[in-house]
């Protein structure tokens, strides 16, 4: 039996404390566990099986349901309080919520962890094992979806009257396995078993009319334009527990079904099969999450998914607004809607449509309310990620919305022409419509024009957005542009994921940091405290050993917890430059081959991340890393000194296992291309040192901690832009012997003896096609930074000092700080405490 690792046991905790807490949550005298407790009742009555025969999954469900029982009264009370107080509310619209697991996080936020740990101990329940039964809710691709999940945690913790809206994908992000070094994808049927954390609310379903229907054709599901149909959106609610259990907000996820399960008319007329087929097809709309990160592929179903999210959510929140407010003119005083990227940007024409066609307001008032209610967050400057939908799709599927968009655009361009007469180049850039053979709607332009605030997600990103990507719009509406540097929740990413370190920190400065992360500043003097440095090192070693054990039991792989854990985990993308890291390891490998007696601290390089299934080069990078790993493993010269581990199936729970165990965090994107990054912050909080480029929020992290506590290298964003004209990767190949040897290792099929030519496309991208992401330009300075880093690691006290200073400076990167800024600068909402 083990409770250590996820939930810590507090010896001070007594049964009376537990009873008191449960009473506070309105649970009365029912005990949580014990013969007549919540857990045992669920175990018995939900399963109707011999207790001894109930499998682990059902035990997890009974456990989660009993935690849900504890919070249910408080959840209801939160809703009632909002109805009574009628505060201005926040609605966070996002196509992705990368939630991960809910149980341990809810237990911790409800402050039930010591209680649960103690009763589990008494009842001889393996809590760790029980919690591992829960599948990740992988309803997102990466950082954007995880940000939405961290924001929910912070909004509830800050007691803001907030709600998340998203889609209930039956299949989240695909499961990744590695076969022969190649990525394979499997469907993630995460709802195969009932999810104890969701509550279906069929009585609050929303009906919406579309000018298209759906059919399954040759196994593929598609939208049929011009054939009207009616869809039902069924809400599934999930509790969002604020830390301390005071506020329990709601994440509402929509599932699509056809409006009637089938039509008896059609049934009797013999067309039963086609009616049923339509029903099945309509229900497929929310079946799958699109697995592309930082790219927009323009599929018709994605377009309908986006509209479905917007239409269901706006109908729902307008209905709620109307219940307590008589006057439409108050809409923007009661409602703040945040658009997480352009994916929900159809909220602009949809809200206008509601105000014009259903509330019968005049254009000017409807437009004013729409803009005041909406705000937009931009997440990327990559041109391939900026959504543009064919105008023709609006025409055939959402004709009224197109009419509204064109009217917005007409007024916008009139205004722009007044202010910049004769500047047609500018007008062309400002326009919501991209002209050409196939006209397109630019969703970013629509979102900026139709909202009162546009923010980027780190200082450098907001600046580049304003001065390059949408420069002309920023000149029209300068007051709308602002920055909100991302953050992550310290509850999940430190308190829950890293109990040993959390315990050491609390021992030094108390536990206020959990809800006020700036208090980590008080750790600064402890960098000079030998016993705290020892506590930090013990915590790190504990996390590394635990990770090594976890890896051994789940995959059989053996790693050395005394080696440097050097970690690079994130979606696989050329701009994130996993290829640059692979080249670094190839150089280190070559050094050992050249000089087998070289002294070197043993190192383990971890990679993890998924590639979009259609992104061939990203998948080839995974193959390269795996082949390099295999070659190194098979080479007796380097055994025990160098190892690469590619961990399949990167997801939130894997991140929670790995990040606390990391010594080194790789944040090495081509400068100017990573909007913010958030894993960089998770690593910093967990006492890893960063080796990275001056990009995204890493710049602000280094500023907060002092660059002397970071290992920064490489071209700056300005240098990347200014060297584009003359940059020549061949120069590095020809003039840097280590660069050349590393590339030759790959190009010579040394790593792919049985599959010659496999890596030829890498030669194309790195040399022939000009190395767009400038890997070779940064390799040498990466290696220099790497050398400094390893030298520091050889001085454990100096390393611990810097790591502690990093933790102490990470307070700014709590999502509580980010959300507080949104609340004040963009939403104008205040906490609404639940009594």
Ligand X SMILES: *Cc1c(COP(=O)(O)O)cnc(C)c1O
Residues of this chain that bind ligand X (CB under 6 A): 142-143, 146, 570, 650-652, 655, 677-679, 682
Nearest 5°: the CA angle 156, 160, 164 is 65
- Pick the closer one to ligand X by CB: 285 or 582: 582
- Pick the closer one to ligand X by CB: 139 or 447: 139
Asked if 188 contacts 174 with a C-beta cutoff of 8 angstroms, the reply is yes
Residue 190: CB minimum distance to ligand X, A = 14
Is 591 annotated as catalytic? no
Residue 145: CB minimum distance to ligand X, A = 8
Residue 716: CB minimum distance to ligand X, A = 20
Distance of CA 189 to the CA centre of its chain: 19
Is 740 annotated as catalytic? no
Cα separation of 254 and 238, whole Å?
Answer: 11
Residue 764: CB minimum distance to ligand X, A = 26
- Pick the closer one to ligand X by CB: 102 or 752: 102
Distances (CA, A) of 398 to 118, 223, 312, 342, 436: 56, 12, 15, 17, 21
- Pick the closer one to ligand X by CB: 3 or 690: 690
Cα separation of 781 and 784, whole Å?
Answer: 5
Cα-only R_g, the chain: 27
Cα separation of 188 and 137, whole Å?
Answer: 10
Asked if 608 contacts 646 with a C-beta cutoff of 8 angstroms, the reply is yes
Residue 515: CB minimum distance to ligand X, A = 21
Residue 137: CB minimum distance to ligand X, A = 12
Residue 72: CB minimum distance to ligand X, A = 29
Of the candidates 619, 682, 732, 802, the residue annotated as catalytic is 682
Is 360 annotated as catalytic? no
Residue keyed to tokens 């543009």: 388
Residue keyed to tokens 């007409």: 410
Is 802 annotated as catalytic? no
Residue 608: CB minimum distance to ligand X, A = 9
Of the candidates 571, 573, 603, 817, the residue annotated as catalytic is 571
Asked if 592 contacts 566 with a C-beta cutoff of 8 angstroms, the reply is no
Is 830 annotated as catalytic? no
Residue 504: CB minimum distance to ligand X, A = 23
Of the candidates 576, 657, 801, 802, the residue annotated as catalytic is 576
Asked if 127 contacts 134 with a C-beta cutoff of 8 angstroms, the reply is no
Q: Are strands 689-692 and 664-667 parallel, antiparallel or unpaired?
A: parallel
Cα end-to-end span (Å), the chain: 38
- Pick the closer one to ligand X by CB: 92 or 650: 650
Of the candidates 678, 693, 698, 818, the residue annotated as catalytic is 678
Structure tokens belonging to residue 78: 């939160």
Q: Are strands 433-434 and 440-442 parallel, antiparallel or unpaired?
A: antiparallel
Cα separation of 495 and 108, whole Å?
Answer: 8
- Pick the closer one to ligand X by CB: 159 or 486: 486
- Pick the closer one to ligand X by CB: 627 or 810: 810
- Pick the closer one to ligand X by CB: 540 or 570: 570
- Pick the closer one to ligand X by CB: 391 or 501: 501
467: β partners: none
* Residue length of the chain: 835
Region of 771 (left: φ > 0; alpha: ψ -120 to 50; beta: rest) is left
Comparing CA positions, the residue from 429, 456, 453, 433 lying closest to residue 443 is 433
Structure tokens belonging to residue 358: 């259903």
Cα separation of 34 and 393, whole Å?
Answer: 59
Of the candidates 168, 238, 570, 694, the residue annotated as catalytic is 570
> Could you tell me the maximum CA-CA distance found in the chain, to the nearest angstrom?
84
Residue 172: CB minimum distance to ligand X, A = 11
C-alpha atoms less than 13 angstroms from C-alpha of 278 in its C-beta half-sphere:
20
Q: What would the 3-class secondary structure string for 217-257 be?
A: ECCEEEEEEEEEEEEEEEEEEEEEECCCCCCEEEEEEEEEE
Asked if 40 contacts 34 with a C-beta cutoff of 8 angstroms, the reply is yes
Region of 624 (left: φ > 0; alpha: ψ -120 to 50; beta: rest) is alpha
- Pick the closer one to ligand X by CB: 328 or 650: 650
Q: What is the DSSP letter of 135?
A: P
- Pick the closer one to ligand X by CB: 655 or 746: 655
Is 616 annotated as catalytic? no
Distance of CA 364 to the CA centre of its chain: 37
By three-state DSSP, how is residue 800 classified?
Answer: helix
Of the candidates 379, 426, 442, 466, the residue annotated as catalytic is 379
Asked if 627 contacts 621 with a C-beta cutoff of 8 angstroms, the reply is no
Residue 344: CB minimum distance to ligand X, A = 20
Residue keyed to tokens 């280094």: 702
- Pick the closer one to ligand X by CB: 305 or 667: 667
Q: What would the 3-class secondary structure string for 15-34 be?
A: HHHHHHHHHHCCCCCCCCCC
Cα separation of 247 and 159, whole Å?
Answer: 6
Q: What is the DSSP letter of 94?
A: -
- Pick the closer one to ligand X by CB: 112 or 651: 651
Nearest 5°: the CA angle 564, 565, 567 is 140
Cα separation of 828 and 335, whole Å?
Answer: 10
Residue keyed to tokens 């007696």: 597
Catalytically active residues are 379, 570-571, 576, 678, 682
């Amino acid at each position: 039996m083990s409770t250590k690792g996820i939930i810590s046991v507090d010896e001070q905790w007594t049964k009376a404390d537990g009873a008191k807490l449960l009473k506070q949550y309105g649970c009365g005298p029912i005990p949580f566990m014990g013969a007549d407790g919540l857990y045992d009742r669920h175990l018995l009555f939900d399963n109707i099986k011999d207790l001894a025969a109930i499998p682990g999954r059902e035990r997890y469900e009974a456990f989660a349901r009993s935690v849900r029982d504890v919070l249910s009264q408080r959840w209801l009370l939160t809703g009632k309080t909002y109805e009574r107080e009628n505060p201005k509310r926040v609605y966070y619209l996002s196509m992705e919520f990368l939630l991960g697991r809910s149980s341990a996080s809810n237990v911790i936020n409800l402050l039930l962890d010591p209680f649960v740990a103690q009763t589990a101990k008494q009842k001889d329940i393996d809590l760790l094992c029980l919690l591992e039964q829960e599948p990740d809710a992988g309803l997102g691709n990466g950082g954007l979806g995880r940000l939405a999940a961290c924001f929910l945690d912070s909004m509830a913790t800050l007691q803001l009257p907030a709600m998340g809206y998203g889609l209930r994908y039956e299949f989240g992000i695909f499961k990744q396995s590695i076969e022969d070094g190649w990525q394979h994808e499997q469907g993630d049927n995460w709802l195969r078993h009932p999810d104890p954390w969701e509550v279906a609310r069929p009585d609050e379903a929303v009906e919406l009319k579309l000018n298209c229907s759906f059919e399954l054709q040759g196994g593929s599901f598609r939208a049929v334009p011009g054939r009207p149909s009616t869809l039902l959106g069924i809400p599934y609610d999930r509790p969002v527990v604020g830390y301390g259990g005071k506020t329990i907000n709601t994440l509402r996820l929509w599932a699509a079904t056809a409006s009637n399960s089938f039509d008896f008319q059609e049934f009797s007329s013999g067309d039963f099969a086609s009616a049923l087929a339509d029903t099945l097809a309509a229900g497929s709309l929310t079946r799958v999450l699109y697995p592309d990160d930082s790219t927009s592929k323009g599929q018709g179903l994605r377009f309908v998914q986006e509209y479905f999210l917007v239409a269901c959510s706006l109908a729902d929140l307008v209905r709620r607004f109307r219940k307590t407010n008589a006057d439409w003119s108050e809409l923007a005083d009661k409602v703040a809607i945040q658009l997480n990227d352009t994916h929900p940007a159809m909220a602009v024409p949809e809200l206008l449509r509601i105000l014009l066609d259903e509330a019968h307001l005049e254009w000017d008032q409807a437009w004013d309310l729409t803009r005041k209610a909406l705000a937009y967050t931009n997440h990327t400057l990559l041109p391939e990620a900026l959504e543009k939908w064919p105008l023709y799709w609006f025409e055939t599927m959402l004709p009224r919305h197109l009419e509204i968009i064109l009217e917005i655009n007409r007024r916008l361009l009139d205004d722009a022409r007044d202010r910049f007469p004769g500047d047609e180049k500018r007008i062309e850039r400002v326009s919501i419509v991209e002209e050409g053979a196939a006209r397109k709607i630019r969703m970013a332009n629509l979102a900026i024009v139709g909202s009162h605030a546009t923010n980027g997600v780190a200082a450098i990103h907001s600046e580049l957005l304003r001065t390059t990507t949408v420069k002309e719009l920023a000149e029209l509406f300068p007051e709308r542009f602002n920055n909100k540097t991302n953050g992550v929740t310290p509850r999940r990413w430190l308190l829950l994921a890293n109990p040993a370190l959390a315990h050491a920190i609390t021992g030094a400065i108390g536990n206020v940091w959990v809800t006020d992360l700036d208090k980590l500043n008080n750790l600064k003097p402890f960098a000079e405290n030998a016993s705290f440095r020892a506590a930090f090192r013990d915590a790190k070693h504990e996390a590394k050993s635990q990770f090594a054990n976890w890896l051994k039991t789940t995959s059989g792989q053996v790693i050395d917890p005394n080696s440097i854990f050097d970690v690079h985990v994130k979606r696989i993308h050329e701009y994130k430059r996993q290829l640059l890291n692979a080249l670094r390891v190839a150089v280190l490998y070559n050094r050992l081959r050249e000089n087998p007696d070289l002294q070197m601290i043993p190192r383990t390089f971890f990679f993890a991340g998924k590639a979009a299934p259609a992104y061939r080069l990203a998948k080839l990078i995974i193959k390269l890393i795996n082949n390099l790993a295999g070659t190194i493993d098979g080479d007796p010269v380097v055994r025990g000194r160098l190892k690469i581990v590619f961990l399949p199936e990167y997801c939130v729970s894997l991140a929670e296992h790995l990040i606390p165990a990391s010594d080194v965090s790789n944040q090495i994107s081509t400068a100017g291309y990573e909007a913010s990054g958030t894993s960089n912050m998770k690593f910093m909080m967990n006492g890893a040192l960063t080796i990275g480029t001056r990009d995204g929020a890493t710049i602000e992290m280094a500023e907060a901690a002092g660059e002397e506590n970071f290992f920064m290298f490489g071209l700056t964003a300005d240098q990347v832009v200014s060297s584009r004209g003359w940059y020549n990767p061949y120069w590095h190949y020809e003039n840097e012997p280590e660069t050349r040897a590393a590339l030759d290792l790959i190009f010579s099929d040394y790593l792919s003896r049985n599959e010659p030519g496999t890596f030829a496309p890498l030669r194309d991208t790195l040399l022939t096609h000009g190395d767009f992401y400038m890997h070779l330009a940064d390799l040498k300075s990466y290696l220099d930074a790497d050398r400094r880093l390893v030298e520091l690691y050889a001085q454990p006290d100096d390393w611990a000092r810097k790591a502690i200073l990093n933790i102490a400076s990470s307070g700014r990167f709590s999502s509580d700080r980010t959300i507080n800024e949104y609340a004040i600068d963009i939403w104008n909402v205040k906490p609404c405490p639940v009594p």
